[in-house]
Structure 1
Amino acid sequence: MLPEFLPRAFWSLITLLSLTNLAHAFDPVLSTVTPRGGQAGQQVEVTFHGDRLDEVEEVLFYRPGITVSDLKNENSKRAKGAFKIAADAPLGEHPFRVRTKQGVTYQRTFWVGAFPTVTEKTSYDEKRKRTNEENDTFEAPQRIELNHIVHGIARKEDADYYVFSGKKGQRVTAEVFGMRLGREVFDPYLAILDSKRFELATCDDHVLNKRDPFVSIVLPEDGDYTLLLRESSYQGNDNSNYLLQVSESPRPTSVHPPVGQPGQKLELTFKGDAAGESKQLVTLPYTPGLASIYANVNGKSAPSPNQVLLTPHPILGETEPNNQQGLAKKQKPAALPVTLHGVIDKQDDVDWFLFSAKKGQDIRVQVHARALRSPLDPVIQVRNAKDNKNLGNSDDDGNNPDSKFDFKAPEDGEYFLMIRDHLNRGGPDFTYTIELAARTPSLRAELPYASNNDSQKHRMITIPRGNHLAIVPNVARQNTNCDVVLEHDRLPKGVTMKSEVAPRSPVNFPILFSAAADAPLGATLSRFTIKDTKSELRGPFEENIHHIEINNAGPLHSTHNERLAISVIEEAPFHLEIVAPPVPLVRSGTMDLVVRAKRAEGFTKAIKVKLPWRPAGVGAPPEVSIPEGKSEAIIPINANGDAPLRTSSICVTGESNPGNGNVRVSSPFVTLEVAEPYLNGSIDLATSEVGKDVALLCELETLRPFEGEAELTLHSLPHKVTAAPIKIKASDKSIKIPLTIPADVKPGKSKSIFAQVLIKQGNHVIPHQIAQGTTLVITPKPAEVTAKK
């Protein structure tokens, strides 16, 4: 019998799937793209490297400025295309994905620079079957021109040398993009050497670029200078790609002030550059948060940006001297909300601020320092100016070194705020901002990680034609407790989305995407919004992807987006359905969910099936399998005694490998009701001897009337102890359950006995578990005890 929720024509379409469907290369893999970057205003021929890159259709860029043409496959592991980079394309990192007819790849990145790109010179040794570099000694470097970007590889025990000519007084900046390329745990080291091989500047890591170095100097004389680039411990490999920008560009290490208001015209002072300070009038972006601002001097842009916080609050800079609490007392107290900013400009420096607050104000103190690429590791403290009582302090906010904490003002009055470096360091680049404002409600959603150290697994929503796929986003509610729904700005043609209102208690809820059988193959980068159903409070659906991540060390390079890749792909060789539960799952009860697969002709592989989401209080195994060649599996589920009484939509997700990559699909939603049980009960503790039968007294409480007789069976009895099923009625208040205790049973105490009651509703059975944790004590016979003595 065909399921009622799907028309016969739909199943007819499935039966038309043939063995050709099994040849699809699902789950395409993109390892990298070469070259890793290109110049704004130019067209770059690129090669995509990976696996199952059959039938490449398009490239999905998250930022504007790059268009793609001439996509073509060379084989399943390589495809080619052309990136046309607009002259006004934003400099820096451009995340993208490649879509084939059978899937969407993990996100990778391409870098747009301001200068032409050249490639490190190599030659291939046919005899030894290896690549030899032609720039691996100081005596034989590769000559390059200033204002160029070099694309190279730092292999194991490899040192790359580049030589350029310069003039006395000329500023030269060299900056490496290594770890930031997001492919390899790669720690570059960079040095600039004079003609006598003396080091003029060196750098391993710089906080401005996290683990990527830069050097910037004013040349002391005319002549040739050499750049040395290597992996810091000589442990590079063939994946240790880098982009080395060598230019006359400025390289400031900090920007002042580090904060502005969205859309504001603001004069910024860039400090720390080898050629001295520079000023720049900029129009700040209109979106609150962190903004990337490139310093530009004489038409040449810095290799990478400095960070500025955009805040909607009034802005107040520190007033020196303010390194003592008493000096701060002379300040005019700042009114909330406010964003403070300053610099911990020397060793042992401490900055104090004074602000006023009202009794009961719920205030959040948020520092931005490392977020601004400042070396400051902030420690903050708030004190009551009236009695100097400490009201709170913070060093790190979890894994984030930037401090944050919340407190309630105990009374109307003035309060001190102190900030310093954790190790009492300081310097001109130790900038910070501090947001002081009342805590406000906020919402945010994100897909959970499906695997440790793989933040991209199952982040792409790929829906086979005529099929479904579910996602289960996590919802973070701050200072609010509300029901939420998910909205989107667009979906691929032929795709629909179904979800319910997520009540305020669960932290996640299921969303089901469905693609029509005739949906065009295609993809969108869709923006989703999580919304409070009553107040219209909205929050983003975020995608934080860690391109390089190590256990215990955390992410080393990440990208942040607020759009999800959704695509329609070729048909999958199977469909799933849950047989809709005909009766409710009761508290302290169990149920067997029947999952069925409709297989395409020739597809026999096993299918791993799981419930991607369960209502609160409902338990299930992590995964079950529809065996090879079979079309059905059972998922046993259960409800806690305090599971919320609620009707929810559930589905299953299945994954299999037809022979060339994994493919995932979900079943349509079915309704699961968690209901009150029909009865409850308890069983008194019982004691007996070996070989002596006993009857357990079971007290029953009928919570809801039921018709006919139910069957009660004891479970988890001691080995060899038996009890026959007992028939009970809704009117029974208590029953006795005879136990047979043979003479050869082992004495002891059993604490896990429980009763299962099967109640019929029509032709269907509703299992209940009652009297959990019943204890039975079986003692030796008196004669045996005497004999042992």
Structure 2
Amino acid sequence: MKDFGRNRALALRALEAWCAFFWCCAMVCLCSAARAEPPQPLANWLFPAGGQRGKTVEVTVSGKELQGASGVRVSGPGVGGKIVQVVNPTTVKIAVEIAPNAELGQRDLRIVTPGGITNRLRFFIGELPELNETEPNTERTQAQKLETLPVVVNGQVLERDRDCYRFAVKAGQVLVIRLEGRRVLPYLPDTVPGFLDGCLTLFDAGGKVVASADRFRFDPDPLLIYPVPQDGEYTLEVADILYRGRADFVYRLTVGAVPYLTHVFPLGAQRNTTAQVALFGANLPAPNLSFAVPADAPPVRPFLMPGVPNLNVVPFAAGDYPETGESEPNDAPAQANRVNVPVTINGRIQKPGDVDHFIFSAQANQVLVMEVFARRLDSPLDAHLSLRNSQGGQLAEADEYQDPLTPLVMHHADARVVYTFPAAGDYVIRIRDIELAGGEDYAYRLVIAPPKPDFFLYAMPDNPRTGKGETAAVTVKAIRLDGFGGEINLAVQDLPPGFSASDAVIPAGQEEAKLTITAAPDAPLGPVAPSIVGTATPVKELVTRRVVGAEDVMQAFSYHHTVFTQEFVLAVIEPAGFALSVGLAPKQVLEVKQGAEVPVTVKAVRREAVKGPVELSAVGPPAGISIKPATIPADKDETQVVLVIPKQAPVGLRTNILLTGTLKTDKETFTRNAPAIPIKILPEK
């Protein structure tokens, strides 16, 4: 036995020595090999999805490739975060610090890793005390007691899960219960309908169902407003309406006799005027509110009540045109309210079957836009417009207008008519609910005005990454409004020292352009937030619009939505593989003739032990432009890329040519962007 023990010890020492030798060899190989490119991180959900002002909240973030997470980025001032623990590559614990004066509402939260920065997750700043649900609370007999109201409960509907809560309320109180699940994660890729479809059920002390809700109007997030008839303890059940469950079914539940604004009327006001607004909801401090609408008010802003906790916000519009209200009776064309164009009409479909008519004068060949703003302002109205001449003949009608500026609206129910009037005279526009529904909350804003050409810009991806000294490519897309088809000039601003970027132009009649951002060779690792702006002349004056970030989000396995983010963030990571550059001076634009072949020098800087040829290709070149096959040989650092300009290329076109280089090693394939090559097409002769 003694020999066996001695031999075992010797064997273990030999194994230890071999392991040490192997480890040293591996480290030598790793140090001499190419630095592997880290994977791009992904964030799937976080819990809890919010916190109270003035508090520090511990949050769990779930995703992929989160190993080495080093930082937290939160949009807007007053909120910061730090990594507490990297549990594993799919789970990170963070601390979110919320200042007492942090602005209420949604923030974008991202995790920084060696591979870049994640997509955004939504994190909400509130005013009320908050707590997390405690399992087990699936049965009503296990209901978690909420000791003090009001409160915000952060929970998750897990597999086969229901969450139950009990609390005491008094007779005469108006209890508000609001579940926010879809608001936290509006679109999920691998479930139908693509979000937590929440359901609330309220039981009295005897176990009787006294109220329930599975939505609020058209919103899948349910709302219960319950006048309490008698003192007692009530139990609330939270579930998915289909009794599904999963970790990303994260919710925020507000419970208490708190002020809650369901809607306002009118839905907006003219800029640089004083708005007189009626308030509707529960536990409101006053039935009306008067306030100034500034001249620079955004088209839509959150409506906030002063002096009380704002648990929810409703949208409030600001317009440029004179405003008027409808006057009943106007159910028939002969009773139509006369209005002067341009105008914004504030009205209601006050009861089921109600119809509103308005009459106005138009000139021959005049183009007018008649557009309803209702569903986009949280009204349940499903609008239908019908345009008729003075003899009653129908000229145009419209139901659903798909507004690309409101990607979170699942049912686009606002109507829009654009019409060129053939002759001068009076015309009648009729508005109704297409299902003949109605009520005091079926409010609308009907704008009748000439087209107002404009544009909106967004960048994808909203979280690109690039190594030190390397280049990221960004696509900027334009949503053209009211017929604007002109050229849009793009520029990158607010870059850190040593960074550079190409300009770009979205040509007339087109919807996108590509630009590049190159990091400084000594840039600090981590996120930077450059600004991209676009300038154009839609009418007479030069207009500047800031580019927002956008992400492509899948819903229910097949539907894709372009959803705007609060920040465009570029992550600088460690360089790997190689970097490309082009032989052009900063901001130089190559002037090339139709039918020409133009050489451009492209250089590669290979890093560490990376060897091999770099194959070059063009990324979606416009206007039929191409490049001849080009490779930087393994023993060379540069080559000539020949741009081939077709004879039919449009003269005056200003565009960017983007090149990528691909280098394959035994273990990895590296692909890198070159800085954009700006060109302008000149006539052949």
- State the match for 1:157 in structure 2: 160
Residue matched to 1:306:
314
Aligned counterparts of 1:193 and 1:489: Cα–Cα separation in 2: 57
Pair 82,207 (structure 1): closer, same or farther in 2 beyond 3 Å:
same
Given candidates 495, 499, 504, the residue that maps to 2:499 is 495
Alignment of structure 1 residues 171-570 onto 2, 5 Å: 171-182=174-185, 184=188, 185-207=195-217, 210-262=219-271, 264-273=273-282, 278-284=287-293, 286-295=296-305, 299-301=308-310, 303-328=311-336, 331=337, 333-385=338-390, 387-398=391-402, 400-447=412-459, 458-478=461-481, 479-532=483-536, 535-545=541-551, 549-550=555-556, 555=561, 560-561=564-565, 563-570=567-574
Change (3 A) 1:426 1:573: same
What secondary structure, in the 3-state scheme, does the structure 1 residue paired with 2:335 have? helix
Amino acid at match of 2:328: E
Which stretch of structure 1 is more off in the superposition, 214-223 or 67-76? 67-76
Amino acid at match of 2:674: S
Look up the equivalent residue of 1:468 and give its one-letter code.
T
Question: Using the alignment, how far apart are the partners of 2:662 and 2:59 within structure 1?
Answer: 33
Partners of 1:538 and 1:438 in 2: CA distance:
21
Alignment-mate amino acid for residue 532 of structure 1: A
Structure 1 gaps of 5+ residues are: 1-16, 123-133, 449-457, 678-703, 705-789
- In structure 1, C-alpha distance between the alignment counterparts of 2:53 and 2:521, rounded to whole Å: 41
* Cα distance change of structure 1 residues 48 and 23 upon mapping to structure 2, 3 Å threshold: farther
Deviation of 1:233 after TM superposition, in Å, equals 0.7
Q: Distance in 2 between matches of 1:207 and 1:604?
A: 62
Could you give the per-residue CA deviations for residues 698-740 of structure 1, whole angstroms, max 9, x where no partner exists? Answer: xxxxxx9xxxxxxxxxxxxxxxxxxxxxxxxxxxxxxxxxxxx
Question: How far has the Cα of 1:626 moved from its partner?
Answer: 10
CA offset at residue 466 of structure 1? 1.0
Alignment of 1:37-48 (within 5 A): 37-48=50-61
For residues 359 and 525 of structure 1, the distance between their equivalents in structure 2, rounded to whole angstroms, comes to 50
Q: 1:638-717 residue pairs with structure 2 within 5 A?
A: 642-645=648-651, 648-653=655-660, 665-670=672-677
What residue identity is the alignment partner of 1:359? A
Q: Partner amino acid for 1:549? A: Q
Q: Which residue is 1:131 aligned to?
A: none
State the AA in 1 paired with 2:471: H
**In 1, distance between residues paired with 2:679 and 2:288?**
64
Amino acid at match of 1:416: V
Q: TM-score, normalised to structure 1's length?
A: 0.71
- 1:780 is aligned to none
SS at the partner of 1:473?
Answer: strand
Query: What is the letter of the counterpart of residue 298 of structure 2?
Result: P
Q: What's the counterpart of residue 127 of structure 1? A: none
Rounded to whole Å, the distance in 2 between the matches of 1:216 and 1:655 is 60
* 2:100 counterpart of 1:87: yes
Question: C-alpha separation between the residues in 2 aligned to 1:280 and 1:20?
Answer: 69
C-alpha separation in 1, matches of 2:248 and 2:82: 26
**Matched-pair contact (CA < 8 Å) for 2:515–2:676:** no
In the TM superposition, residue 669 of structure 1 has moved relative to its aligned partner by 3.4
- 1:170 equivalent to 2:140? Answer no
Point out which structure has higher relative CO (alpha carbons under 8 A, 6+ apart).
2
State the shift of 1:221 in Å.
0.4
Kept in 2, the 8 Å contact 1:578–1:652? The answer is no
Partners of 2:53 and 2:99 within 8 A in 1: yes
Which amino acid in 2 is paired with 1:493? P
Change in CA separation of 1:53 and 1:255 when aligned onto 2, cut-off 3 Å: same
Distance 1:245-1:608 versus aligned 2 partners, 3 A rule:
farther
Q: CA RMSD in A?
A: 4.0
Q: Report the Cα distance in structure 2 between the residues aligned to 1:272 and 1:615, rounded to whole angstroms.
A: 54
| Cα distance between partner residues in 2 of 1:627 and 1:171 | 76
- Structure 2 residue runs of 5 or longer lacking an equivalent are 1-29, 189-194, 404-411, 585-589
SS state of the match for residue 569, structure 2?
strand
Shift of 1:152: 1.5
How far residue 545 of structure 1 moved from its aligned partner, in angstroms, is 3.8
What corresponds to 1:744 in structure 2? none
Distance in 1 (CA, whole Å) between partners of 2:573 and 2:471 is 11
**Percent identity of paired positions between Structure 1 and Structure 2:** 25
The question of whether the paired residues in 1 share the 8 Å contact of 2:263 and 2:281 is answered with: yes
- The 2-side partners of 1:659 and 1:204 are apart by 56
Query: What is the letter of the counterpart of residue 401 of structure 1?
Result: A
Deviation at 1:600? Answer: 2.3
Q: Give deviations 1:648-667, integer Å, cap 9, x for gaps.
A: 54121357899999986311
1:81–1:510: structure 2 CA closer, same or farther, 3 Å change rule?
same
TM superposition score normalised by structure 2: 0.81
Q: Aligned match of 1:615 in 622, 625, 637? A: 622
- How far off is 1:115 after superposition? 1.6
CA distance in 2, matches of 1:673, 1:271: 58
Instruction: Give 2:117's aligned amino acid.
Output: V
Cα distance in 2 for residues equivalent to 1:628 and 1:574 = 12
Q: What is the CA distance between 1:610 and its match in structure 2?
A: 5.3
Residue 48 of structure 2 corresponds to which residue in structure 1? 35
| C-alpha spacing 1:292/1:154, structure 2 compared with 1 (3 Å) | same
1:727 matched residue in structure 2: none
Is the Cα contact below 8 Å between 1:217 and 1:274 reproduced in 2? no
Provide, for residues 448-470 of structure 1, a one-character-per-residue CA deviation record: whole Å limited to 9, x for no partner.
Answer: 6xxxxxxxxx3323232111122
Which position in structure 1 is the counterpart of 2:143? Answer: 141
**Deviation, structure 1 residue 197:** 2.3
> Residues 410-444 of structure 1: CA distance to partner in whole angstroms, max 9, x if unpaired?
34433222111111111222111112221122122
What is the deviation of 1:334? 2.0
Most deviating of 312-321 and 281-290? 281-290
Name 2:607's counterpart in structure 1: 600
Partner deviation per Cα, 1:472-515 (whole Å, 9 max, x = no partner): 32234443443331134512332222124444244322312112
User: C-alpha distance in 2, partners of 1:77/1:605?
Assistant: 34
Deviation of residue 146 (structure 1)?
A: 1.8
For residue 430 of structure 2, what is the amino acid of its counterpart? M
Amino acid in structure 2 at the alignment position of 1:304: N
State the 1:107 CA deviation. Answer: 1.1
Deviations 1:153-175 (A, max 9, x none): 11232221111101001111111
1:22 aligned counterpart, secondary structure: coil
Bigger Rg over Cα: 1
Shift of 1:258: 0.9
Q: 2-side partners of 1:620 and 1:560: how far apart?
A: 34
In structure 2, C-alpha distance between the alignment counterparts of 1:262 and 1:497, rounded to whole Å: 37
Question: How big is each residue's C-alpha offset from its partner over 1:520-540, in whole Å with a ceiling of 9 and x where there is no partner?
Answer: 334333443211279412334
